[in-house]
Amino acid sequence: MIYYLRSMKGFFFFLFGIFLGSWISWPGITSAKNWKCFIKIISNSKQDKLSLKVLSITPKFLLKTDSMDYFSKLRIVNDTCFR
């Protein structure tokens, strides 16, 4: 029984750390309005209606990267909606 309580305590602190780190990086992550922005960008990108002007990406960034992986795209969308 004590092992399970320690495991749950560790899991709780792990989730709290992820939430706190995300909130420090993106303070708007707790706002419902910002989540609507996030969902809108994801749905528009699936339909290929996404413009670069919406994401506020600098041309220097686009020239510097050869190909963007999934996490880079996710970081850009998070920075756009949650900051």
Give yes or no for residue 9 having a pLDDT over 80: yes
The pLDDT of residue 49: 58
The pLDDT of residue 6: 85
- Residue 56 DSSP label: T
Q: Where are the domains of the chain?
A: 1-26, 31-83
Distance CA 67, CA 14 (A): 32
Query: 58 near 76, Cβ under 8 Å?
Result: no
Distance CA 21, CA 25 (A): 6
The pLDDT of residue 77: 73
Q: Which tens digit of pLDDT belongs to each residue from 25-82?
A: 888 888 888 888 888 877 776 666 555 455 555 555 555 556 667 677 777 777 777 7
